[in-house]
Protein backbone atom coordinates (compact mmCIF):
# COMPACT_ATOMS: atom_id res chain seq x y z
CA UNK A 1 0.00 0.00 0.00
CA UNK A 2 2.91 2.35 0.44
CA UNK A 3 3.35 2.49 -3.34
CA UNK A 4 -0.38 3.09 -3.80
CA UNK A 5 -0.23 6.04 -1.38
CA UNK A 6 2.81 7.41 -3.22
CA UNK A 7 0.89 7.05 -6.49
CA UNK A 8 -2.05 8.90 -4.91
CA UNK A 9 0.23 11.81 -3.98
CA UNK A 10 1.77 11.90 -7.48
CA UNK A 11 -1.65 11.92 -9.15
CA UNK A 12 -2.93 14.59 -6.76
CA UNK A 13 0.09 16.77 -7.48
CA UNK A 14 -0.40 16.26 -11.24
CA UNK A 15 -4.15 16.96 -11.03
CA UNK A 16 -4.82 13.65 -12.82
CA UNK A 17 -8.49 12.95 -12.06
CA UNK A 18 -8.79 9.56 -13.85
CA UNK A 19 -5.69 8.18 -12.13
CA UNK A 20 -6.78 9.52 -8.72
CA UNK A 21 -10.24 7.98 -9.01
CA UNK A 22 -8.83 4.65 -10.14
CA UNK A 23 -7.32 4.26 -6.65
CA UNK A 24 -10.72 4.51 -4.92
CA UNK A 25 -13.66 2.13 -4.62
CA UNK A 26 -16.94 3.18 -6.27
CA UNK A 27 -18.49 4.17 -2.93
CA UNK A 28 -15.37 5.79 -1.39
CA UNK A 29 -15.86 8.82 0.85
CA UNK A 30 -13.51 11.74 1.49
CA UNK A 31 -13.72 13.88 4.63
CA UNK A 32 -12.16 17.31 4.04
CA UNK A 33 -11.84 20.38 6.28
CA UNK A 34 -12.88 22.61 3.34
CA UNK A 35 -15.30 20.52 1.32
CA UNK A 36 -16.91 18.42 4.04
CA UNK A 37 -17.92 14.79 3.56
CA UNK A 38 -18.20 13.93 -0.14
CA UNK A 39 -18.06 10.93 -2.44
CA UNK A 40 -14.48 10.72 -3.74
CA UNK A 41 -15.52 11.35 -7.35
CA UNK A 42 -17.33 14.59 -6.46
CA UNK A 43 -14.61 15.73 -4.06
CA UNK A 44 -11.79 15.44 -6.61
CA UNK A 45 -13.82 17.07 -9.40
CA UNK A 46 -14.43 20.05 -7.12
CA UNK A 47 -10.90 20.20 -5.71
CA UNK A 48 -9.26 20.04 -9.12
CA UNK A 49 -11.62 22.71 -10.49
CA UNK A 50 -10.45 24.99 -7.67
CA UNK A 51 -6.77 24.23 -8.29
CA UNK A 52 -4.25 25.82 -10.67
CA UNK A 53 -1.37 23.66 -9.43
CA UNK A 54 -0.18 21.64 -6.45
CA UNK A 55 3.20 20.74 -5.09
CA UNK A 56 3.45 18.01 -2.47
CA UNK A 57 6.46 17.03 -0.41
CA UNK A 58 6.07 13.75 1.42
CA UNK A 59 7.49 13.58 4.94
CA UNK A 60 6.49 10.06 5.95
CA UNK A 61 4.00 7.24 5.47
CA UNK A 62 2.87 5.49 8.64
CA UNK A 63 1.28 2.05 8.43
CA UNK A 64 1.21 -1.38 9.97
CA UNK A 65 1.99 -4.12 7.44
CA UNK A 66 -1.01 -6.36 6.94
CA UNK A 67 -3.44 -3.71 8.18
CA UNK A 68 -5.99 -1.70 6.24
CA UNK A 69 -5.12 1.78 7.44
CA UNK A 70 -2.22 4.16 6.86
CA UNK A 71 -1.37 7.82 7.25
CA UNK A 72 0.67 10.08 4.99
CA UNK A 73 2.22 13.28 6.33
CA UNK A 74 3.17 15.84 3.69
CA UNK A 75 3.46 19.53 2.91
CA UNK A 76 0.91 20.80 0.40
CA UNK A 77 1.66 23.94 -1.61
CA UNK A 78 -1.65 24.81 -3.24
CA UNK A 79 -2.10 27.39 -5.99
CA UNK A 80 -5.80 28.08 -6.34
CA UNK A 81 -7.36 28.67 -9.74
CA UNK A 82 -7.90 32.32 -8.75
CA UNK A 83 -4.17 32.88 -8.19
CA UNK A 84 -3.87 32.73 -4.39
CA UNK A 85 -1.27 30.42 -2.91
CA UNK A 86 -1.29 28.66 0.45
CA UNK A 87 1.00 26.07 2.01
CA UNK A 88 0.24 23.78 4.92
CA UNK A 89 1.21 20.53 6.61
CA UNK A 90 -1.34 17.80 6.02
CA UNK A 91 -2.04 14.29 7.23
CA UNK A 92 -4.21 12.01 5.10
CA UNK A 93 -5.67 8.94 6.80
CA UNK A 94 -6.39 6.13 4.33
CA UNK A 95 -8.56 3.03 4.69
CA UNK A 96 -8.87 0.39 1.97
CA UNK A 97 -10.72 -2.79 1.08
CA UNK A 98 -9.59 -6.30 0.12
CA UNK A 99 -9.01 -5.18 -3.47
CA UNK A 100 -6.69 -2.44 -2.15
CA UNK A 101 -8.95 0.38 -3.28
CA UNK A 102 -9.25 3.31 -0.90
CA UNK A 103 -12.67 3.30 0.75
CA UNK A 104 -12.27 6.28 3.04
CA UNK A 105 -9.90 9.22 3.25
CA UNK A 106 -9.79 11.68 6.14
CA UNK A 107 -7.81 14.83 5.40
CA UNK A 108 -6.47 16.65 8.44
CA UNK A 109 -4.89 20.12 8.43
CA UNK A 110 -5.37 23.62 9.80
CA UNK A 111 -7.77 25.28 7.33
CA UNK A 112 -7.39 28.78 8.80
CA UNK A 113 -5.43 29.95 5.72
CA UNK A 114 -7.03 27.81 3.05
CA UNK A 115 -10.66 28.56 3.91
CA UNK A 116 -10.37 32.37 3.37
CA UNK A 117 -8.37 31.84 0.16
CA UNK A 118 -11.00 29.45 -1.25
CA UNK A 119 -13.91 31.68 -0.16
CA UNK A 120 -12.23 34.69 -1.78
CA UNK A 121 -11.83 32.73 -5.03
CA UNK A 122 -15.49 31.66 -4.98
CA UNK A 123 -16.67 35.20 -4.26
CA UNK A 124 -14.72 36.50 -7.27
CA UNK A 125 -16.38 33.87 -9.50
CA UNK A 126 -19.75 35.12 -8.32
Reported pTM = 0.91
**Ordered domains of the chain (ranges, CATH):** 2-125 (3.10.450.50)
51-105 pLDDT, tens digit each: 999 999 999 999 988 899 999 999 999 999 888 899 999 999 999 999 999 999 9
48, 56 contact by CB (below 8 A): no
Q: Which three-class secondary structure string do you get for 48-66?
A: HHCEEEEEEEEEEEEECCC
Amino acid sequence: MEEKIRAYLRHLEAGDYPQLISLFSEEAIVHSPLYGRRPARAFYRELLADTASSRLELSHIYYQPGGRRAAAHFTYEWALAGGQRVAFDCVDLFEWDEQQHFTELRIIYDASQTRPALENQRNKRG
